[in-house]
Structure 1
């Protein structure tokens, strides 16, 4: 268990908090590409209310929500060829926060030269808009492999979840939940629904697990029943990318699960999917974006697929899990390691150091380890993945299977 003080330190992400100061040293997805248009939109990141826009020149800007003139919201505004004009009194600001125009002020006034809107750097990469809210100079935006492959298809699912991002990240270093939440509980739901056959991928017992801190975060390894240390689950493993992503997949499918803290009690969860058959994929005209539903038509949480089961486990811990009442065992070694790593990196930032996974030198790509042949039949795995993961909601689900030359089942 954690003391109340340590739980606060772990979960508060606003400006001036230890975790908030750590997280502000990283670039965060703040929007999908389709959100950055001529229409200003509200976004919230790390407890700060923001406005995202693309002006007539194509430049993307991210400003603090309230205008520095009379504090009206800048989403009540209109984009110009350059910048965003406040809808209240017409003051216009560039994407870098410079005040370009102040209607109503004397023609010879220099007042606008002394006014700036709070602006944050943004970059576009792989269909996402990334923002940096920390001290300058900003580090390099990490060019992780899935974001930059030029021979892969992509789609992006997303949902806003009413819980703190840390309890989602802790799930990523908790391998034992797979055989119980997705194995036993998932099979129980299938039984109730009239499907007797469990999912063999998620019902195997864990014989051995290990975690190690490495250059990208924490590497998770495991040996499942009937497997050995020569199998890729152990030999290769798969990473939690510090401080906010999980890398999963196999058989040409790879996903970043990106956990973006909206504030202390809410998380924007992004499923960034890539599809890369042997030999690569043909060019993709656009990257589809879709929302992942949380509830069914009765308002009940969806639990009939793997990601849905995870979501309910995260949300039902509460907006912020009360770790003063938990009881950790030896099976929770990964959770303990992650909390320790967050604490160590908060301390590093307090000493004025760059935290883990900060990149100061330009680079082309950062390749991450990931198992490839871990589930036996690649065809069966891809059909399982497109049925039991968030990909079930992708508008290109059938096209993905066709891309790999797999049969497209009659979905039920």
Structure 2
């Protein structure tokens, strides 16, 4: 358990908080590519209200929501050939926050030279728009492999979840939940629905291990009937500190990206890649879709793996009260992650760069991940397309055809 004070330190992400200062040393997805248009769009990240836009020259900007003139919202604005013009009085700002025009002020006034809107650096990569809210100079935007592969298809699912991002990240170092939440509970739901009581995951965890490495935490496990020679243990898969989990196999690989909107809400992004042996042909566009949270009756969707995870996360409360929990030996990964957050907060407080920060230009960062998992590749892909958030992807039938797999009726 954690004291209320330590829990507060772990979960508060706003400016000036220890966790907030740590998280501001990283680049964060703030939008999908289709959100950056000529229409200014409200976004919220790390407790800050922002406005995202693309001007007539194609430049993407990210400004604090309120205009420095009379504090009207800049989403009430017009994108010009250069910059964003406040709709209230016409003051014009570029992507650096510089004030370019002040209609209504004397023609010879230099007042605009003393005015700036709060702005943040943005970069586009792999169909996402990334933002950096920390002190300058900004580190390099990490070019993780899934974002930069030129021979893969992609799609992007997303949803806003009513809970703090840390309880989602803790799930990523909690392997034992898999055989119960997605195994026994998943099977129970199928029984209630009149289907065959066959769980997606049945194998018991015999051995698990966690180690801190240069990108975060590497997770390993041995399942019942397997050995340490199998990929699950020999290679494992990473939690990329402080906010991503990488999962997949058999040509499918996903970043689950947990983006703190504020203390009590998280923008969850499923960044999925499809890379068959020999690569995929060029993709004209990256599809973006919303992952639903409730069914037509208003009930939480729990009939697939990611839905079960989501309900487990949000039912802990907006911010889990860790002073009331009771951790056991099976929670070693959770304990390690909390320790890592605390250590890296201290690094930032001491003026250092936290874990995973890159200052050197680079082409790609290759991350470790299992290749063979849960039986045959075809079977794995069938289960993945049915039981993960990809079930809502508009291209899942095309993806199965890409791999040469049979396309079932549900696709």
Q: Say yes or no: TM over 0.5.
A: yes
What residue is the counterpart of 1:305 in the other structure? 304
What residue is the counterpart of 2:403 in the other structure? 404
Shift of 1:224: 0.4
CA distance in structure 2 between the partners assigned to 1:401 and 1:172 by the alignment: 27
CA distance in structure 2 between the partners assigned to 1:155 and 1:57 by the alignment: 26
Shift of 1:375: 1.9
Shift of 1:264: 0.2
What residue is the counterpart of 2:262 in the other structure? 263
Is 1:48 aligned with 2:42? no
1:309-324 mapped onto 2 (5 Å cutoff): 309-324=308-323
Shift of 1:197: 3.9
Shift of 1:198: 1.3
What residue is the counterpart of 1:354 in the other structure? 353
Determine helix, strand or coil for the equivalent of 2:169: helix
Is 1:210 aligned with 2:216? no
Deviations 1:193-226 (A, max 9, x none): 11224135x1110000000001110001000010
CA distance in structure 2 between the partners assigned to 1:244 and 1:79 by the alignment: 32
Deviations 1:302-330 (A, max 9, x none): 00000000000000000000000000000
What residue is the counterpart of 2:8 in the other structure? 8
Shift of 1:123: 0.1
- 8 Å contact from structure 2 (residues 184, 199) kept in 1: no
Deviations 1:324-381 (A, max 9, x none): 0000000000000000000000000000000000000000000000001112211111
What residue is the counterpart of 2:162 in the other structure? 162
What residue is the counterpart of 2:79 in the other structure? 79
CA distance in structure 2 between the partners assigned to 1:20 and 1:94 by the alignment: 26
Determine helix, strand or coil for the equivalent of 1:203: coil
Over 2 Å off, 4+ runs:
none
CA distance in structure 1 between the partners assigned to 2:332 and 2:26 by the alignment: 26
CA distance in structure 2 between the partners assigned to 1:319 and 1:11 by the alignment: 10
What residue is the counterpart of 1:338 in the other structure? 337
- 8 Å contact from structure 2 (residues 220, 235) kept in 1: yes
Instruction: Count how many residue pairs are aligned between Structure 1 and Structure 2.
Output: 411
CA distance in structure 1 between the partners assigned to 2:282 and 2:192 by the alignment: 43
CA distance in structure 1 between the partners assigned to 2:162 and 2:197 by the alignment: 33
1:62-141 mapped onto 2 (5 Å cutoff): 62-141=62-141
- 8 Å contact from structure 2 (residues 188, 197) kept in 1: no
- 8 Å contact from structure 2 (residues 373, 380) kept in 1: no
CA distance in structure 2 between the partners assigned to 1:93 and 1:391 by the alignment: 39
CA distance in structure 1 between the partners assigned to 2:152 and 2:353 by the alignment: 32
CA distance in structure 2 between the partners assigned to 1:199 and 1:150 by the alignment: 36
CA distance in structure 2 between the partners assigned to 1:215 and 1:93 by the alignment: 39
CA distance in structure 2 between the partners assigned to 1:167 and 1:182 by the alignment: 18
Determine helix, strand or coil for the equivalent of 2:279: coil
TM-score, structure 2 normalization: 0.99
Gaps of 5+ in 1: none
CA distance in structure 1 between the partners assigned to 2:346 and 2:379 by the alignment: 46
What residue is the counterpart of 1:381 in the other structure? 380
Deviations 1:61-103 (A, max 9, x none): 0000000000000000000000000000000000110000000
Shift of 1:106: 0.2
Deviations 1:270-301 (A, max 9, x none): 00000000000000000000000000001000
CA distance in structure 2 between the partners assigned to 1:378 and 1:211 by the alignment: 26
What residue is the counterpart of 1:390 in the other structure? 389
Determine helix, strand or coil for the equivalent of 2:384: helix
Deviations 1:15-42 (A, max 9, x none): 0000000000000000000000000000
TM-score, structure 1 normalization: 0.99
Cα RMSD for the two superposed structures: 0.6
CA distance in structure 2 between the partners assigned to 1:257 and 1:190 by the alignment: 26
Determine helix, strand or coil for the equivalent of 1:78: strand
